[in-house]
Chain A
Amino acid sequence: MTVEIWVVLIVIGLIALLALWSIGIYNRLVRSSVQTKEAWSGICVQLRRRASLIPNLVETIKGYASHEKGVFEEVARARSALQNASGPTESTLANQSLTAALGRLFAVVENYPDLKAAGNFQDLQDELSDVEEKIAYARQFFNRNAAQFNIQIRSIPDILIARMLALERFEFFEEDQDPNEEVRVSFSQSGGD
């Protein structure tokens, strides 16, 4: 075989390798992206669960403290804001305001010992704190996936394919800075969990 034919074969071989390699990277990015989106919908499931608990909670509290209208309205507004939010950044802000509103609601409850002792209120409180924990874990899972994806699209060589596809980084779903919660150690340097 002549030299020219060898050269042609090698070039074809290299192109084939390049194609396979690109396909591998593309598939990896797709999988990472889809997993992250799925993780986001996991958060939405928990947020919706909390949203469905809130009307019940508000009704129970209204039964004992019907004149605290300001707080109820605040909660209702924050709740609908969260339901209308789209994407992690909007949801983060809406979530923070809802958490603040709920905080004020529970502060109100402190003044009504009958309410605090009521069985159905305590059940709702338990359920709510369980949902909050689920939200926290779902957020953690989402942020981990988002971080992984963000790292991938900025690493060489994936960055080449990512730029071609104009992939954008995911925003993290931030947590609330509540100084009363216990210390939990964090393993990431920036953003998210």
Chain B
Amino acid sequence: MQRSSTDSPVLIYDRIDANRRKTRWLLAIFVIVSIPVFLFIAHSITAVVAMSLLMQVASTPENAIAPIIGVSTGIAVLLLGVAAELLYRYSSRLVLRLTGARPLDPVEEPTLVRTVENLCIGAGLPKPQLAIVESRATNIYSTGLEPDKATLVVTSGLLEALDRRELEGVVAQELSQIGNGDVRLGTVLATVMTIMLLPYLIGARVIKTLIRANRGCGIGCLFFPFLFFVVMVAGSAVFGVFLISDISDPTERLLFMLAMLVPLYALFIGPAIAYMLRSAVSREREFLADTDAVLLTRYPPGLAQALAKIAVLGNGVIATQPTIAHLWIVDPRKPKPTPRTGLFATHPPIRERIEALSRMGGLTPEMLAAAEADGHLYHDTVAAATRSED
């Protein structure tokens, strides 16, 4: 085996280290941004419970209010904790069911089984369970919180479209994500985001039912909760203005106005920032996994060509939930109606990923063009087959 002389030997490892450091910073900021949101949600739940308790014991002296609020805060935090734990523990099964994956019999796909087996030897990972999603889309993801409880899920379209080297590349990428704990990280972040977005989601549902709109989630999805919270914030602002007129002390007034801003942060700004941070973390980890995959296969063109093919073929998987979009190797959501780029993107653009891979050596534009041509050919074959079926 010849050694390529154009590689900078240490670059890969440096890149991996730098990526990991960046992720840690992003996560720290994520935690800081999230805490006020959680406290707010807990206290909102508290307020409801406390109010009902207070109603029942209407004649309670004033010094009983504090313990009641304390207890209900505790209950609220406990409930949130339990919800988080359940979401976390059953996430794997939930995801498999949501995507319609069925367990793969080893006899069905010996090439895939062999590829996974050999790459696991190279990575020092236990073999994951294999599952398949019957879909023309070409995509792959992995789930499972620990490497020894992981499941690797491919679409049948992927197995048909990619050749051995390309399949190796994408499987290596998924194994790297399992090994790096990206799946666990992604699940934790998704769980936290779901809880943080609960007011959002509830608000959207409420407005949608009120207006009887049943459109799928898209740019409209942003509109309804936005409307909801504009109404809420405006309402509390008006309410606050009335109360402020009673407060004469300027410092108290200032504090009161700041207090009015808290819901705005907790319900809108906080989750938005957290969402962007989570997306940033997700993008960094994808780059990291790409690099680790190449370190495993020693063949950058494999993954690069696979990505080029997938870009041509379309990665949209039917019936996929936005909350698990980050688990797939390429964003499974269709580009319309919400743009999946920039700060909100869970995956880096495919072009950038291919570029990063080509910097690692061994890839020529001809190889990419050949992969894309293959992709177009496969696409036409599939389209023709679909037409003849109809």
Q: List chain A positions with a Cβ less than 8 A from chain B.
A: 35, 39, 42, 46, 130, 133-134, 136-138, 140-141, 145, 175-179, 181-189, 193
Knowing A175-B1, A178-B1, A187-B9, the reply to whether A138 touches B122 (Cβ < 8 A) is yes
Q: Within B83-119, which residues are at the interface with A (CB < 8 Å)?
A: 114, 117-119
Pairs of residues from A and B, 6 with the lowest C-beta to C-beta distance, nearest first: A137-B122, A184-B298, A137-B121, A186-B3, A185-B4, A189-B9
Q: How far is the CA of A188 from the CA of B4 in the complex (A)?
A: 11
Q: How far is the CA of A179 from the CA of B294 in the complex (A)?
A: 22
Does the CB pair A187–B122 fall under 8 Å?
no
Closest-CB distance, B93 to chain A (whole angstroms): 31
The residue in chain A whose Cβ has the minimal distance to the Cβ of B363 is A185
Show 8 A/B contacts (Cβ-Cβ < 8 Å), sorted by A: A134-B118, A134-B121, A138-B122, A140-B298, A178-B1, A185-B3, A185-B4, A186-B298
Does the CB pair B300–A138 fall under 8 Å?
no
Residues on B with beta carbons closer than 8 Å to the beta carbon of A136: 122
Residues on A with beta carbons closer than 8 Å to the beta carbon of B119: 137
Does the CB pair A187–B121 fall under 8 Å?
no
Residues on A with beta carbons closer than 8 Å to the beta carbon of B296: 140
Q: Residue B295 at the A interface, CB < 8 A?
A: yes
Does the CB pair B13–A141 fall under 8 Å?
no
| Contact count band on B | 20 to 34
Does the CB pair A133–B118 fall under 8 Å?
yes
Does the CB pair A184–B1 fall under 8 Å?
yes
Residues on B with beta carbons closer than 8 Å to the beta carbon of A130: 114, 118
Q: How many contacting A-B pairs (Cβ < 8 A)?
A: 67
Residues on B with beta carbons closer than 8 Å to the beta carbon of A183: 1-2, 4, 362
Residues on A with beta carbons closer than 8 Å to the beta carbon of B118: 130, 133-134, 137
Closest-CB distance, B107 to chain A (whole angstroms): 16
Closest-CB distance, A44 to chain B (whole angstroms): 13
Q: How far is the CA of A39 from the CA of B121 in the complex (A)?
A: 9
Q: How far is the CA of A95 from the CA of B362 in the complex (A)?
A: 28
Does the CB pair A179–B2 fall under 8 Å?
yes
Does the CB pair B1–A177 fall under 8 Å?
yes
Q: List chain B positions with a Cβ less than 8 A from chain A.
A: 1-4, 7, 9-10, 12-13, 114, 117-119, 121-124, 294-296, 298-300, 360-362
Q: How far is the CA of A133 from the CA of B111 in the complex (A)?
A: 13
Closest-CB distance, A142 to chain B (whole angstroms): 9
Across the interface, B362 reaches (CB within 8 A) one of A134, A140, A185, namely: A185
Q: How far is the CA of A178 from the CA of B119 in the complex (A)?
A: 22
Does the CB pair B121–A141 fall under 8 Å?
yes
Residues on A with beta carbons closer than 8 Å to the beta carbon of B7: 185-187
Q: How far is the CA of A130 from the CA of B3 in the complex (A)?
A: 23
Residues on A with beta carbons closer than 8 Å to the beta carbon of B294: 185
